[in-house]
Amino acid sequence: MTNWSPTVITRVMLGLAIVVSAFPLYWMLVIASRTNADAVAVPPPFLPGGNLGENIVAVLNNEDAHFLLGLTNSFLIASIVTVSVVLISTLAGFSFANLNFKGRNMLLLAVLLTMAVPLQQMGVVPLYRLMVSLEWTGTLKAVILPYLLNGFGVFLMTQYTRQAVPMELVEAARVDGAATLRIWWNVVLPAVRPGMAVLGINTFMLMWNDFMWPLIVLTPDNPTVQIAITQLNARFSTNYTLIFAGTALSIIPLIAVFVAFGRQIVGGLMEGAVKA
Amino acid sequence: MSLDTLPRAMRSNHRRPRPPGRRWRSRLDVKAMPYALVSPYFLLFAAFGLFPLAFTLYYSLYDYDLAGTTEWAGLGNYTALLADDDFWNAVVNTVGMFVIATVPQMLLALFLANALNKRFRFRLAIRMSVLLPLVTSVVAVAVVFTQLYARDWGLVNWILGWFGVDPTNWRAERVPSWIAIATMVDWRWTGYNAIIFLAGMQTIPRDLYEAAAIDGASRRRQFWQITLPMLRPTMIFVVLNSTIGGLTLFSEPTTFYNGNVDGGSQGQFQTVAMFIVKEGFREFDYGYAAAAAWLLFLLILLGALINFLFVRRIGGTK
C-alpha cells in the first residue's frame, strides 16, 4: 500500500474542521451559562459561567415563549411522522424491491420524480387553504400530515431492501406457503432494520428542524420548539442569555440521538450515498 | 425469530397441496398485495403532492385581495411578478447567496473528504464530529451566528479588529449579509457533503491509484486525474441536493432578521421562499404567492440543469 497515512497538513485540516464544527455549540453553552452583561462584553467571555440552570428555568417559565409546550409539540410531531414514514416506506420498499406487479417501474419512477420537487415550499398556498377549510390551522395535525409524504424514504427503503433481502429468500418463503404480509413480517423486517434506523433518525432530525411550514400554519401560543425560539428572539432580542438557553434546550434531544446512534448515522449516510 | 423460519423455508422444495379456498386467497394475495403495500404512499402523494401542485397552478391564475374577493387574472400574476423589482431582488439574493455558499462549500467538502479518507485513529469520532453541525437545529444555529456577527460586541468583528478591519454591520449591507448567511449554510452542510464524498471515494478501486503511482503520478495529480472524475456520480447527487436546498433557503435568513420575512431593512437578504411567505401570508395575495412558487420551481429546474451540465464536464477532459 502506498502512503495513505495522513500528512501534517491533513492532521491540521482535520483538527481545524473539528474545532470549527464544535465552536458554535460551545459558544451556545458559554452564553447560555452567563449573564446578559457578559454576553455583550468586549472582549467576549470564552469560558462557561455558572448561570446555566437559572437561565434554563427562566426560559421554561417564560409565559410568552411556551417553551415547554414547544418541546413537547416538536417531540410529538417528529415521533409521529418518523414512525409513519418508516412504516409506509418499509412496506412500499418491500413491494418495489421484492414483488412483481404490473406498472412497478413506472410507479417507482414517479416516486423518484416527486423527490425532485420541493413540495413543502411549492405547495404552501393550497396546503394552507386546505388546513383553513378543515379548520386545522394551529393544530399539530396540520404540521404532521403533509410530511407523511416522503419520496426519499420509499426510495431509500427500496434500495436497502433490494440489497438486504435476496429474491430467493422471498420465493422460498412463498413456496413454503407464507402470505405476503407474513413474509414482510418474518423475512423482510428483521433484515432491513438498519435501513429503517437510518431513515428514522433522518426523518426525526428533519422534522425537529422544520421551520417554514409550522411558522405559517401554527400560532405562537401552540408552537414547535423552533417557533418558540423565534418568539424569544423577536420579543427579547437583547436578552441573549434567555435566547441561548432556549437554543441549548432545543438541541439537547438531537445531540442525545446523535450520541446514541452516531455510528449508524455515519454508516447509513455513506451507504445511502453510494447506492443512490 | 426469522433465523429459524428461513432455513426451513429454503429446505422445503416440494409444494404442499393446498385446499382450494386457500389457493384463491393466495392468488389474490400475490396479485393485489403489491399494490396495497405501495398504496399508502400514493394516497398521500395524491393528497399532499398532486393536489397542492395542481392548485398552486390554479391559484396563480386568480387575483385575491384582503377582502376575500377572487377574480380571474389569467397570466396577470406572472407578468406582474416579472415586472416586480422586489421579486427580482429576491431572485438575485437567492442566487447570490447560493453561489457564495456553494462554491467554497464544495471545494472544502472535497478536500475534507480527501483528508478523512486517510488512515488514522479515532476515525469514527472524527467523522461524527464533522457531522455534528447537521444534527443541531437550524434556527438555534442561526441565532448563535447572528450573535457572533453582531456589530458592536460580536466575536467576528472583534477578531477582524485584530487585523485593523473596522467593525462591519453584517446585517445592514447586501454583500456582508450574504456572506454571514452563507457561512451559516456552509457550517451546517460542509461536513455532511464531505461524508457523502468520502463514501464515493471509498468505492474507487485502489488499483487505479497503485497503477498511477507506478507510472509516477504525484498524489496531487492522482486526486485531479482519478479521484475527481471517478467521483462524478456522487458529485451530481451532492450538487443537485445543494441546488434544491440552496434555492429554497428560508430558515437562516429569516432568523437573521429576528423571524421576519422582509430580509433586512431594504430586503437585502430576502430570498424567494421568504418572498412567497410574505406575499401569501402577510399580504394574503395567494395568487401572487402561488405564481411566485411556480417561478421558484422553474428557477430550481434551471439551476439543477446548469449545475448538472457543469459537473458532467468536471474532469471530463481526460
> Which residues in chain A have their CB less than 8 angstroms from residue B34's CB?
95, 99-101, 104, 180
% pLDDT > 70, chain B: 92
Q: What is the pLDDT of residues A242-272, one digit of tens each?
A: 888 999 888 888 888 888 888 877 877 777 6
Nearest residue in B to A5, CA atom: B119
Q: Give the SS3 label for residue A29.
A: helix
Higher pLDDT, B73 or B102: B102
Segment A66-78 shows an average pLDDT of 93
% pLDDT > 90, chain B: 38
Show the domains of chain A with their CATH numbers: 63-235 (1.10.3720.10)
> What is the predicted pLDDT for the residue at B269?
95
Check pLDDT > 80 for residue A274.
Answer: no
Look at B254 and A237 and tell me if their CB atoms are within 8 Å: no
> Which residues in chain A have their CB less than 8 angstroms from residue B248's CB?
118, 121
Look at B244 and A118 and tell me if their CB atoms are within 8 Å: yes
> Residue A55 gets which letter from DSSP?
H
Q: Where are the domains of chain B?
A: 17-59, 77-313
pLDDT band at residue A2 using 50, 70 and 90 as cut-offs: very low
> What is the predicted pLDDT for the residue at B250?
93
The torsion angles phi and psi of B169, rounded to 5 degrees, stand at -90, 90
Nearest residue in A to B244, CA atom: A118
Q: Which of B73, B26, B99, B41 is nearest to B285 (CA)?
A: B73
| Closest CB to B139 among A5, A128, A229 | A229
Q: Give the SS3 label for residue B72.
A: strand
**Which strand (E) or helix (H) includes residue B70?**
strand B70-72
Q: What is the pLDDT of residues A104-132, one digit of tens each?
A: 999 999 888 887 777 777 888 999 989 99
pLDDT band at residue B8 using 50, 70 and 90 as cut-offs: very low
Q: What is the pLDDT of residues B276-312, one digit of tens each?
A: 999 998 888 899 999 999 999 999 999 989 988 888 8
pLDDT band at residue B18 using 50, 70 and 90 as cut-offs: low
- Grid cell of B177 as nine digits: 449579509
Tell me how close the Cα of B304 comes to any Cα of chain A, in angstroms: 10
Tell me how close the Cα of A230 comes to any Cα of chain B, in angstroms: 6
Highest mean pLDDT among A27-31, B40-44, B133-137, B239-243: B40-44
- Grid cell of A9 as nine digits: 497538513
Look at B111 and A13 and tell me if their CB atoms are within 8 Å: yes
Look at B148 and A24 and tell me if their CB atoms are within 8 Å: yes
Number of helical (H) and strand (E) elements in chain B, helices listed first: 16, 2
Look at B187 and A21 and tell me if their CB atoms are within 8 Å: yes
CATH tag, B77-313: 1.10.3720.10
Whole-angstrom Cα distance, residue A248 to residue A251? 6
Cell 412500499 appears where?
A92
Nearest residue in B to A262, CA atom: B128
Q: What is the pLDDT of residues B61-100, one digit of tens each?
A: 998 877 777 888 889 999 999 999 999 999 999 999 999 9
The interface predicted TM-score (ipTM) is 0.86
> Which residues in chain B have their CB less than 8 angstroms from residue A271's CB?
199
> What is the predicted pLDDT for the residue at B251?
92
Look at B127 and A266 and tell me if their CB atoms are within 8 Å: yes
Among B60-74, B159-173, B246-260, B292-306, whose mean pLDDT is lowest? Answer: B60-74
Segment B200-214 shows an average pLDDT of 88
Nearest residue in B to A238, CA atom: B147
Look at B34 and A180 and tell me if their CB atoms are within 8 Å: yes
Are B264 and B86 in contact by the 8 Å Cβ rule? The answer is no
Give the number of residues written for chain A. 276
